[in-house]
Amino acid sequence: MAYELHYWPTIQGRGEFVRLALEAAGAPYVDVARGAQDAGQGVPAMLRRMNDPHETQPPFAPPFLKDGEMMIGQTAAILHYLAPELKLVARSERARVWTQQIQLTIADMVTEAHDTHHPIAASLYYEDQQPEALRRAAEFCGARLPKYLQWFETIVLRNPAGPRHLVAGKLSYADLSLFQLIEGLRYAFPLVAEKALAQTPAIVQLHDRVAALPKVAAYLGSARRIPFNEQGIFRRYPEFDLA
């Protein structure tokens, strides 16, 4: 049975971290909101599922995943649930917990990147909070972005199994998510990101290895990969790119 992934159909956003795991594992899935309404899919189907009055554990917001009777919301929780079945996490409890810790740190950085253009409220347009956004972006680019990347560099270099992966000696969902994070930073903050990544060569090499994985490379070259745009989490505003 195919997994049902529910996320907005025109942006990568937080749903992309789940898509990458499913694609890298070659798992069958339906991207529900991107389907045709006459086939019982599309955004209305996603909203009906999310707002089902009979659902006792409704997700707060997309992304969420339906797997049989299971409904899981929150990107990190979805990946934690999928990983054993997709073979994207090591077997030991210590490794599973460490992988989830890394994923949650990636989620923190994604939120901070989002808040550069929406520092006051997600319900307001960027133009309604531009002075605050400029201040937030300056702090993110000058301090937070390099600090996060240096931490990822540190942990990959300290991996007892070697620096090819973040955890143990095999591909995990954290590797895939770090790849996506770097892709987003390069899109939104090209000058700042390249300056910081020049100081973190091990995670750049990890990013490149992930991109070269056959299933990942096929996905990246397909129409299933939505291009970055100014509606998603990572948005390119030149005034932010304060290298």
Task: With respect to residue 233, please indicate whether it lies within any of the assigned structural domains.
Answer: no
- Please say which residue of 86, 108, 130 terminates a domain: 86
Q: Which residues contact 142 (CB under 8 A, 6 or more apart)?
A: 242
pLDDT at 1 > cutoff 90:
no
DSSP code of residue 125: -
Residue 144 sits in the same domain as residue 173: yes
- Please say which residue of 86, 106, 141 terminates a domain: 86
Please state which of the ranges 38-52, 162-176, 224-238 shows the lowest mean pLDDT.
Answer: 38-52
Residue 71 sits in the same domain as residue 160: no
pLDDT of residue 113: 98
Residue 105 sits in the same domain as residue 60: no
pLDDT of residue 168: 97
Domain extent, residue 78, equals 3-86
Q: CATH code at 36?
A: 3.40.30.10
Residue 198 sits in the same domain as residue 106: yes
DSSP helix/strand/coil, 73? strand
Residue 10 sits in the same domain as residue 110: no
Q: CATH code at 190?
A: 1.20.1050.10
Cβ proximity of 159 and 165 under 8 Å:
yes
pLDDT of residue 103: 98
d(CA 197, CA 193): 6
Residue 136 sits in the same domain as residue 194: yes
Nearest residue to 20 (alpha-carbon basis) of 171, 143, 139, 238 = 171
Residue 185 sits in the same domain as residue 136: yes
Task: With respect to residue 121, please indicate whether it lies within any of the assigned structural domains.
Answer: yes
Per-residue pLDDT, averaged over 148-159, amounts to 98
Residue 101 sits in the same domain as residue 75: no
Task: With respect to residue 230, please indicate whether it lies within any of the assigned structural domains.
Answer: no
Task: With respect to residue 75, please indicate whether it lies within any of the assigned structural domains.
Answer: yes
How confident is the model over 141-153, as pLDDT tens digits? 999 999 999 999 9
How confident is the model over 47-97, as pLDDT tens digits? 999 999 999 999 999 999 999 999 999 999 999 999 999 999 999 999 999
| 33-40 long-range contacts, CB within 8 A, separation 24+ | 33/6, 33/7, 33/8, 33/9, 33/62, 34/9
Residue 137 sits in the same domain as residue 156: yes
- 64 beta partners: 6, 73
pLDDT at 243 > cutoff 80:
no
d(CA 95, CA 98): 5
Task: With respect to residue 231, please indicate whether it lies within any of the assigned structural domains.
Answer: no
pLDDT of residue 38: 82
Residue 69 sits in the same domain as residue 102: no
User: CB burial class (10 A; 0-12, 13-18, 19+) of residue 99?
Assistant: buried
Number of domains in the chain: 2
Residue 134 sits in the same domain as residue 182: yes
- Please say which residue of 37, 58, 86 terminates a domain: 86
Residue 118 sits in the same domain as residue 221: yes
